[in-house]
Amino acid sequence: MRRLRWQLLILIAALGMVGLFLLNRPAPATVDGVPETASPPPSVGGAYTEALLGTPTRLNPVLDFYSAVDRDVDRLLYSSLLRFDDRGLPVPELAESWGISQDARVYNFSLRQGVRWHDGQPLTSADVLFTIGLLKDPGLPVPDDLRELWETVEVEALDASLLQFRLPEPYAPFLDYLTFGVLPAHLLQDLTPEEFISAPFNLQPVGSGPYRFVQFLGEGSQITGVELEAFAEYYGEKPFLDRITFHYYPDAAAAWQAYQAGQVLGLSQVPIEIFPEVLAEENLRVYTGRLPQLTLVLFNLANPGVSFFQDLAVRKALLMGLNRQRMIDEFLSGQAILADGPIFPGTWAYYEGLEPLAYDSEQAIDLLREAGYALPAEGGDVRVKEEVELSFTLAYPLGEQYEQMAVYIQESWARLGVEVELEPLPYLDLVESRLQTRTYQAALVDLTLFRSPDPDPYPFWHQAQATGGQNYSGWDDRPASEYLEQARVTLNFEERGRLYRNFQARFSREIPALVLYYPVYTYAVDAQVEGVRMGPLFDPSDRFAFAGTWYLAAPSQ
């Protein structure tokens, strides 16, 4: 059912300038480097203001898939059946409870009683059913994989608070698809797709979340901000803050100036150009969380022109020949997490028992030599085995950061006796003319799973996806594929975790691709705002997962 997407540099641009800085640390907050020993009791009331980078389009969760700045606001306005905690485990939101049939094909969900829309009307199963209908509508800008999933699922409202989902086959990641923001049918059900896209509702939204829309702020015809207030009839724990206001800025420099001028208390993103100043500001606290993204080098294992990639010794030597920590330090300002596998750390499926392969260029050379790859007796810098040179082309997406990485990789492997030609390509060309056609030899890419808490590596590493799917490396490994098959139809998280641990161990032994690092997201909030915490993220808007516990510290006497 699920077809995930490979995203490269274009996704980073679409999200805005995502900062790649500090590791996520659960340690207590500090002031001037000294851990705080106690916090004042939470106070109710007050307002928080935050700088967002970008401009609003539509405050509608069915229309915000391609707008990170809208998703930030929508996270506070709307509710979903489920949310996921920072380990990727489902937690109820609108759903009070749910049950799954023994054959894992039928899901029954019971909604909370007494949930109200911001206009006072009751929220019922008819609203959920209506929203799913929108997600299936070909006239709306919904991602293809999401629409295709919902076209295969039968959904029925059994009564005002009970929903039933019937799947054509067992599919454990299904719960991922129940995090959509629910829309009010009584306000939107009579609109055509064209009317829905341009409806006044999108600028005067009505949700059921902890905060309700008050007004847009503006100068002339330009929207400069949006004001929200706590919803008095919210079904969950009432937030401490009375108001949250977002101000829109064109770039990080303008947002930083706004903070310095006292116009905002938070910076939604801290990109590299302002990071040193932000870090030096004693009144700002910096929070970071691991993003669901992995940068790696793919090998085309099925390309006969580079048959040496089938040799485990070659793949292992190439990994050992890269000083990945140095790459992080030099090109990412030291702010990323060294990767050790295809499943993200901090999640329920991550296997902590993996032993990362350390950088050792001398041992890498020994591996190549023992495998029969030798420098020519007549002289030369490229190793040869049976008249086949260790020489190939590395494609990478356009962009300064990727170019720096690619050049460093090229130079590192040259020291091993491996010749690499670099091929910079625009995003679409790299995906469409190289990865999808399987005509590349090696590629530096990003694998992203934004808004997908379930790890489900099946689309990228199962042998059935090697032809026509997204297993672009062509990894044909039956044991690994069996683990992924079983995990996809197993509902028990403990058993799925065991299967994914086996998969990760197999991946670590076989090294079908070279995993490099996981980027992190950096967020800054003024020290007077207490209760802020942020774990691993599945979308930048997840930083508001605990916004209800934020409060303003009482002024010192």
Element (H, E) at 201: none
* Chain region(s) in the chain for CATH 3.90.76.10: 79-197
pTM: 0.88
pLDDT of residue 340: 93
322: buried, middle or exposed (CB in 10 Å: 19+, 13-18, 0-12)? buried
Cα–Cα dist 182/177, whole Å: 12
- On whether the CB atoms of residues 493 and 89 are closer than 8 A, the answer is yes
Q: What strands lie across the sheet with 391-397, from one edge to the other?
A: 337-338, 513-518, 293-299, 442-448, 391-397, 419-425
CATH of domain 13-23+42-78+209-289+521-557: 3.40.190.10
- On whether the CB atoms of residues 544 and 76 are closer than 8 A, the answer is yes
Cα–Cα dist 274/257, whole Å: 10
DSSP string, 449-499: -TT--S---HHHH-GGGTTTSS-TT----HHHHHHHHHHHT---HHHHHHH
pLDDT of residue 451: 84
Distances (CA, A) of 540 to 72, 101, 221, 552: 8, 34, 28, 22
Cα–Cα dist 87/84, whole Å: 8
Element (H, E) at 252: helix 252-260
Cα–Cα dist 401/411, whole Å: 16
Distances (CA, A) of 251 to 17, 53, 112, 248, 524: 9, 6, 41, 9, 15
Cα–Cα dist 105/99, whole Å: 11
Q: Which residues of the chain have pLDDT under 70?
A: 1-40, 555-557
CATH class of 293-518: alpha beta
Name the residue among 61, 181, 205, 206 with its Cα closest to residue 120.
206
pLDDT of residue 379: 85
pLDDT of residue 240: 97
CATH 3.90.76.10 fits 79-197, yes or no: yes
pLDDT of residue 1: 44
Place of tokens 């300002």: 333
The helix, strand and coil proportions of the chain, stated in percent and rounded to the nearest 5, come to: 30, 25, 45
Element (H, E) at 520: strand 520-526
- On whether the CB atoms of residues 120 and 47 are closer than 8 A, the answer is no
* Chain region(s) in the chain for CATH 3.10.105.10: 293-518
pLDDT of residue 555: 63
pLDDT of residue 39: 54
pLDDT of residue 16: 39
Assigned token pair, 142 = 């919904």
* Chain region(s) in the chain for CATH 3.40.190.10: 13-23+42-78+209-289+521-557
pLDDT of residue 61: 98
pLDDT of residue 523: 94
Average pLDDT value for the chain:
91
